Every structure is written in C-alpha cells, then in structure tokens.
Chain A
C-alpha cells in the first residue's frame, strides 16, 4: 500500500539482487521469507560479514545490513559502502532516533526498524533499488524529532506530514487529517527525506537519491540549496 507507485512502470533489470548481512541466521531466514513473496526481488547472498557477502555477490543492487554485527555498531562500514555507491538499507532493533539519523548521515538509503520489517521491507528495498526515498514511520519520527543544530530546514507541511505519519502509520489517515491526497502526503514525507541527503558527509548514494528526486520532479535544486548545474552531478551511471 505504501510501495512506490512508480515502481510498477520500471521493469528493466528485474529481478533485483538483494544481499542480506546479519549475524543471526534466524533473522536472515525471516527477512528472506518477507522478500520471498515479491517476484521482483531475489536474495543473491547472505552472511555475517559485509565484505564476504559482497565478494560472493558483487552485483547485488541492494544490501540489507544489520547495524550491529557481533556486538559492534558498524556505522563506519556503512559509510564505506555508501561512499562506494552501494545502496544500503539499514535495519536494526536499535531504532533510537540518534542512531537512525547517524545511519542516514553515513549514507544509508533507508532505515528500517526491525519491527517494521514485515510491512515495509519489500517497499523499502524496491524503492532503494531505484534510488527513491522510502520513509517508514520510525524514521519519520526520528526526522521530525531531530533537534540537532545543523538539521535540514523542513517546511511546516513536511514536518506535519512526518509527524502524523509517525503517529498513525496510515497515509490514508494522514491525508484525511491534512485534507490533502495520499500522494501529496507521500510527496511531503519524501521531500523531507531528500533534504536529509544534504546532511552529513557527501556519499554517492545521497547524490543518487537527490538526482533521482530532481529527475522525478519531487524537489527543485533551489529547494535544497543546490544552484550548480545538474550536468556536473556525480550521479553514478546506471
């Protein structure tokens, strides 16, 4: 219901290769089960070491990464993969707002709290594969509660949409409350997410998200303070 409506009209390159990195086999099995119902996705490699998994499947388009491997937070690894252009969807039971924002800063394409997995996992991975934003409710909560001094400046509508989406987990209800269409709710939420591509260090994944958002007409370059020509954008060629 929250899957990107645009996802349906992009059919080239299906199925999408997904790599799963987690140190708990039972979780890998669970995620595999969630993804199994979606014919456009195929799990190409799994394991508990990101380097090994990606050696086994160098062409994986999306990496699902547990943020905590063998008792250690792997934010540095996340930053390294994102800088190299890997689309990483972080999923973690550590869904406290600072951790979620740190993952976005490090270049994660999306953050999925583990308890949101069943409902949002497929949608998140599909959106990530196309460099499109996907904001599950927990991440919306982290963004709307962001009190860091260098946080992106969100508009009132964007903030309200994030807040209501976080509260209700139903875009239809948010739309009724804000008296706008569901599509517009999603636009506000996604636009807020795109503004976060300007936070933290630059990463290839952030540039790709931003470029796709501009291409889709979701944001205009001047909305987020980019005035240079997109001809020079460091967007990876598909």
Chain B
C-alpha cells in the first residue's frame, strides 16, 4: 500500500465513469439579438419598395398632369405647385433613407405633409375640390406611409384622421354640404385611406412575424452553441482522462510488477502527480466551461507540467464576471503558482455575490515578489508565515 492515498483513488476512479454533466441552465438572450433586426429589415424591404413606387407613380403620373391641366383655373395655382414640389422632395428624401435601411424623421415630415395637405386643398379652390387637381386627396396618404414607416400603426391612423378632418373642413367651408357632396367626400377619404393603411399594417405584421421567427432561430442557435461547447468540454475531459489514466496505470503496473519501489521518492512523486491530476479531472463538473475556472485550470496544468503536484478544488459556480475582475482574481494566483515549490492547493469558493480564490503553497526561502494589492473591486491578500505562503483574492458584489 503506498503511503499516499493517491494510488487507491486512482484505481477506483479509472474504473468509474465521470459524473454526468448537469443540464445547462444559463439564461437565454433577454432581448432579440442583432441578427433578428437584420432579418426584420430584410423582410420588409419589398413592402418599402412597393410603397415608394406607388407614391412616386401617383405623384408623377396622376397628380402632376392634373395640376398642369387645371393650371391657372385654380384659386392659388402657385400654392398647389409649391405643395407638389415640397411633397416630391419629402418623398425623394424619405425614399432614399428607406432604401438605405434607415427611417426618416417621422414627426417633422408628418407635420410638413399636413401643412401641404391644408395648403393644397385651399389652393385648389372650390371648383377643383373633388377633381384630381386637388391631388392631396388621393395621393398624399402614400407619403404618410413613407414618413411613418415602421412607426406604430396608431400614428398613421391619427394622420389619416387629420387628413379626413382637413377634407371635411374644406367641404363645409365651401358650403358643399348637399348630401351628395358629403357622401362623395366620405367616399374619397375612405377610398384613399384604406389601401395605404392596409399596406402599412400588412408590412408591420410581416416585420413582427419575421422578427419573432429570427429571435427564435437565434435563441435555438445559442442553445445549440452552448450544447456544442459542453460536448466539446466533455470530449476534451475524456481525452485528458484517457491520457492521465494511462500514466496512472503505468505507475500502478510498475508497482504491481515490482519494477517500481513504493519507497522510492521518485515513484511516490509520480503517483502523487497522477492522483492529483485525476482528482482535478473528476472535480470538473461544469458543463459550459467557466472562464475563471478555465484560466485557473490552465495555470494549474502548466505548473503541473513542471512537476508540481497541485490540487484544484472549486465549490460553487462563479457568476459571469467582467474580464478585469476575472483577471484580478486569477492573476495573483498564477504569479504565485510560478514561484511555488513542493505542492500547491488552489481553491475557489463561488456564489452569485462572492468569489474567493486562494493559493496555498509551502513557504520556502526563495524570493517572494507577490505583493498585497489594494484598490479595485478585487481584494488581494498575500502572506507567508514560515509554514505556508497564502495568496487570496476576493470579489464581492457591491
């Protein structure tokens, strides 16, 4: 029987499977990832182009000829013409922004369009109230669409209501209150509002649906990535276990065959190293590798390769920590490990609000360059008492 429990542990552990990994419980993304926005942008691209084409066609092919035909017959032809021009400029501007994937400033454009609306109705005069020369009735709603793209639907409904109110006010002011005129006005307002509203609502629904689908896809992707990381960690662990088991078996076989003498310090050291490595592997129970533990494990592996038997014991799961805190916790210990002689014990005790990492090694006469660090969110203590060198870093959520 070797004097160190390591060999017995080794024989046991090799025969037994590693503990089953826990099911990943990290929370999924709280908000839709950027990919979801990209998908949403792409999905309503067709509807944007359609709206721009309809607005341009109406403005050029229907409104412009009618205005030119009516010409000086209107009450204030210049006002109507300027209105047409302003609307055309707004349309070009909003259209370019929309094609680039940006949204135009909705409020100011909406206000400008309503001013144009009222001005053109007044400028066309009573005679052209119900004709195509009063082009705002039929065509302006499509420009509302461009200005309010991707804004809440109720904004468009408010605009259309204002548009209808301007028309009704004009009808009343011009005294066209005969029932035929009123029903004609209602029909005009209704007819010219419903189609843009339908396009607008349809595009919004499509976008919402596409965004939800994209968010679902992104969440599924994140879960898959996490599973893959866990799978990879597991595979790596199995590989390392196979490797470590090999070296442990070698020592055991030599001991059993009598080729190695348990009293030989070199043999004992090999047994201790193999046992420490196995213990560390068995203690790894985190599925999705934690960055802090990963860093400490890497440092431990490095120190061990230089022949230092090292125990790494972690209790609890560290919360997600910013890089500088993680480094503040790990770096002093990594430095301490480099100077360690004999053996080392590295421990991590982690909770959601506190993480304490500690390194204990036997004290020796060698230089001790580690200093006690202050400041920052990580408290750092280092001391040597003739028996041990003790480095401890501690982070507390404030």
Listed in ascending order, the chain A residues whose CB lies under 8 Å from chain B are 24, 26-27, 29-30, 33, 68, 71, 93-97, 114-118, 138, 141-142, 144-145, 147, 163, 166-170, 172-173, 176-177
Contact = CB atoms under 8 A, between A and B. Distances in A.
Nearest to B345: A169
Interface stretch (B174-182, B263-271, B324-332, B386-394): B386-394
Contacts of B12: 24, 27, 93, 114
B390 A173 contact: yes
Interface in B343-379: 345, 347, 349-352, 356, 358, 360
Given A167-B347, A168-B360, A24 B11 contact: yes
A138 to B, nearest CB: 7
Given A141-B313, A167-B390, A173-B390, A30 B8 contact: yes
Contact of B349 (A71, A116, A166, A170): A166
Interface in B233-288: 275, 279, 282-283, 285
Given A30-B5, A144-B315, A167-B392, A177 B383 contact: yes
Contacts of B320: none
A177 B19 CA distance: 36
B385 interface: yes
A142 B283 CA distance: 13
User: What is the predominant secondary structure among interface residues of chain A facing chain B?
Assistant: helix
Contacts of B31: none
A167 B283 contact: no
Nearest to B394: A163
Nearest to B11: A26
B23 interface: no
A118 B349 contact: no
B390 A93 contact: no
Contacts of B282: 93
Q: Which 10 residue pairs across A and B have the least CB separation, nearest first?
A: A145-B315, A167-B358, A145-B316, A141-B315, A117-B5, A167-B347, A145-B349, A168-B360, A30-B1, A30-B8
- Among the interface residues B9, B11, B19, which one has the most CB atoms of the partner chain A within 10 A? B9
Contact of A173 (B16, B279, B388): B388
Contacts of A24: 8, 11-12
Given A30-B1, A97-B316, A167 B9 contact: no
A116 B360 CA distance: 16
Contact of B19 (A96, A138, A141, A170): A96
A141 B349 contact: yes
Contacts of B3: 118
A117 B352 CA distance: 32
Nearest to A118: B5
A93 B13 CA distance: 8
Contact of B283 (A71, A96, A144, A168): A96
Contacts of B352: 147
Contact of A167 (B1, B5, B279, B345): B345
Interface in B1-33: 1, 3-6, 8-9, 11-13, 16, 19
B387 A173 contact: yes
A172 to B, nearest CB: 7
Contact of B360 (A29, A97, A118, A167): A167
Contacts of A29: 1
A27 B16 CA distance: 15
A168 B381 CA distance: 13
A144 B349 contact: yes
Given A145-B350, A145-B351, A169-B345, A163 B8 contact: no
A94 B11 CA distance: 14
Contact of B313 (A71, A114, A138, A173): A138
Contact of A166 (B4, B9, B347): B347
